[in-house]
Amino acid sequence: MTNPSGTFPPPAHPSPNPRTLLGQLRSQVRVRLYSFRTEQAYAYWVRRYVRHHGGRHPRDLGPEDLKGFLSDLAEKHRVAASTQNQALSALLFLYKDVLGMELPWLDGIKKAKRPRRLPVVLTREEARALLARMEGTHGLMARLLYGTGMRLREMITLRVKDMELARREIVIREAKGGKDRMTVLPSSLVEPLREHLTRVNTLFLEDRARNLPPVELPGAYGRKNPAAGRLWGWHWVFPQRTIAPDPRTGIRRRHHANEQSFSRALSRAAREAGLVKPVTAHTMRHSFATHLMESGYDIRTVQELLGHKDVSTTMIYTHVLNRGGRGVVSPLDR
């Protein structure tokens, strides 16, 4: 989650101060096992909400104050509907889960309607040109995104145990919506991934020899079985090269790869390939889905691979198939 001007600052908060509003917020976020990015986002919007109203405590503010803040975001700052909805989610969490205020007017505040936009999709030729300009680990990551349809966050948080190289499958844990799913692993990436994991294993063994703290484990499992973080199966498929402090605990450990580093490499490759379309990691996911449907795979199969809850979400790719608008042949061409 990002704010309108970019990314959130990365301060560490090992132990939230229960005496402060933000400390209480962070504690409630962690009790519910929300991600650190969600914690950062919620804290950012609550801080901004309080500052907008001159430092007044949220308990002393009413429905008009909340609506005024959201209107200011939309009208003065012209934030996207998704950003406005993120701010609303943070403030609803503040009132209901942190302050314990069940206020009838909260339920009457509606989320901003997000415009329905067609996804940016690369042609097969554009995808080849882009991937040809990416090498090393970032090149492997880009090919994995395009070849599997994973989200960027799903890829960088992959664990070794979830790579089924022999069966050509990848198990994606706790994806969007908290559900697990399985996707295809391209045969052409099996050997490159084996070689990559051999190099990562060397890094893993060095960490164990240095007795470094284990990698971070998901939620409650980390409390039940903290020693699992020292096992090879739980290690990151794409770890960072350096050791860094954990933003929540302050423990110096090895984290997974950085999203921004990969995104910068992808953007640089797109420029070198001369692509005029805006290319992001999600563009690779859109291209994966569209090219599968172009190849004749049914929409239900694509829906399952992408992890969409509703097939209507997957149907948007029928509008960008490489056969003209809605697959119609223009009368001029006849």
The pLDDT of residue 7: 44
pLDDT computed for residue 178 by the predictor: 77
pTM of whole model > 0.85?
no
Q: Are residues 98 and 60 in the same domain?
A: yes
Q: Is 120 within a domain?
A: no
Q: Residues of the chain whose pLDDT is less than 50?
A: 1-11
Task: Classify each residue of 298-323 as buried b or exposed e, where b means 16 or more C-beta atoms within 10 Å of its C-beta.
Answer: ebeebbebbbbeeeeebebbeebeee
pLDDT for residue 39: 92
- DSSP letters, 59-89, are GG--HHHHHHHHHHHHHTS---HHHHHHHHH
pLDDT at site 76: 87
At residue 48, the pLDDT reads 95
Q: Which of 223, 242, 272 is the last residue of a domain?
A: 272
- Residue 178 and residue 81 in one domain: no
List, in sequence order, every residue forming a beta bridge with 262; answer none if it has no partner.
Answer: none
pLDDT at 330: 62
Which residues, in sequence order, are CB contacts of 183 under 8 Å at separation 6+?
148, 149, 150, 169, 170, 172, 305
Assess whether 174 and 264 both reside in one domain.
yes
Here the CATH number for the domain that contains residue 99 is: 1.10.150.130
* Contact (CB, 8 A) for 283 and 120: yes
Active site residue ranges: 151, 176, 282, 285, 308, 317
Specify whether 144 is located in the same domain as 77. Answer: no
Q: Tell me what pLDDT residue 156 has.
A: 95
What kind and span of H or E run contains 184? strand 181-184
Question: Does 278 reside within a domain?
Answer: no
Same domain, 212 and 250: yes
97, 138: one domain: no
Measure the N-to-C terminal CA separation of the chain; round to a whole number of Å. Answer: 48
pLDDT in the model for residue 117: 79
Q: Tell whether 132 and 265 lie within a shared domain.
A: yes
| Range of the structural domain that residue 162 is part of | 128-272
What is the reported pLDDT for 191?
97
Note whether 151 and 260 are same-domain residues. Answer: yes
What six digits make up the tokens of 97?
């889960």
| pLDDT of 9 | 43
pLDDT confidence of residue 329: 61
List the Cα angle 108/109/112 in 5-degree steps: 140
Identify the pLDDT of residue 5.
40
- Is residue 141 domain-shared with residue 245, that is, in the same domain? yes
Handedness of CA 33, 37, 40, 45 (dihedral sign): negative
Number of domains the chain contains: 2
